[in-house]
Structure 1
């Protein structure tokens, strides 16, 4: 039995409407915070920084899986093999696939060393050169401080080292 032109046209039109409606009404997936167990699945066991390899503390790791399937990952590191000057600043490894904004400073995709010294969050390139600092806030209200954790705060994020945190957001 042959389908009439009208039936073919109606079926084609219905298919187009179905595809268009799923595209138009599809909700983007919101960014997801990755806790230590999820972040550990994609983090390496050791990382290169300032001419040496440092072991990653995957139990003290976190990240963000952004809506565009990109990641930001961070983990505390064993920095015992580094000079005291590097040890003071290099507390965690920080990897981002998206540009991030730290108080007006843009961090481009890449791998970095980070840490908190006094009341500043320090970002260093892979050779341990300081790139920029951002202000740190001390959170006395935090219920369960951990060595490293990441919390969402509206469209921003808080990266905690104990009770101290730095705020950042995905750059526009």
Structure 2
């Protein structure tokens, strides 16, 4: 009888430890993840539709985030040489979000957009017809070593940073 009580206690303790360990492991594996160009190249199309024409994606200059719930944010620079100069001035990258996000305090619904860093330290978001959705202030990260043409990093205060060189905006889900 004593063996049976000890066995039950050991099994019960094992179950408690197992239940305690599973959520901790799920949290560690279930967080948001910054994607590198090698990750996003498989997800992005070769040609991107914007303002009535298709342009090649510069997939080597891409980035993204995979959120814990499986939704993606993907972005890539675009070869805009076939566009008019007014479109080129504000359309530098293709931006896809599968979930609503906030950029610089503005709500952005799930969808496909054109984005760009423009003069006066502004970041502009346009729809695929090249109509302005909103613009926000961008910041400059003078401390960034080896800036890339486009990248996404984690933001120290939560969320993420979308960079073009040393200029960036923050976004979060």
TM-score, reference length from structure 2: 0.84
Which 5+ residue runs of structure 1 have no aligned equivalent? 1-9
Query: Paired residue for 1:3?
Result: none
Name 1:27's counterpart in structure 2. Answer: 26
Cα RMSD of the aligned pairs, angstroms, is 1.8
Query: What is the CA-CA distance between 1:27 and the residue it aligns to?
Result: 2.5
Give the distance between the partners of 1:87 and 1:129, measured in 2 at CA: 13
2:5 matched to which residue of 1?
Answer: none
The answer to whether 1:161 aligns with 2:160 is: no
Residue in structure 2 matched with residue 95 of structure 1 by the alignment = 96
* Equivalent residue number for residue 150 of structure 2: 148
| 1:147 match: secondary structure | coil
| Partner SS for 1:27 | helix
Matching of residue 70 in structure 1 with residue 71 in structure 2:
yes
Task: Give structure 1 regions of 4+ aligned residues with deviation exceeding 3 angstroms.
Answer: 20-26
Instruction: Give the Cα–Cα distance (whole angstroms) in 1 for the partners of residues 90 and 107 of structure 2.
Output: 19
In the aligned structure 2, how far is the partner of 1:105 from the partner of 1:42? 26
Q: Distance in 2 between matches of 1:23 and 1:110?
A: 35
2-structure distance, mates of 1:24, 1:146: 37
Separation (CA, whole Å) in 2 of partners of 1:45 and 1:24: 39
Shift in Å, 1:83: 0.6
Matches within 5 A, 1:95-114: 95-114=96-115
User: What's the offset of the Cα at 1:25?
Assistant: 5.5
Q: Distance in 2 between matches of 1:165 and 1:103?
A: 10
Take 1:103 and 1:38, find their aligned partners in 2: how far apart are those partners?
Answer: 25
Matched length: 156
Inter-partner Cα distance in structure 1 for 2:161 and 2:137: 12
Measured in 1, the distance between the counterparts of 2:58 and 2:106 equals: 27
CA distance in 2, matches of 1:32, 1:95: 16
C-alpha distance in structure 1 between counterparts of 2:70 and 2:142, whole Å: 34
Counterpart of 1:81 in 2: which secondary structure?
coil
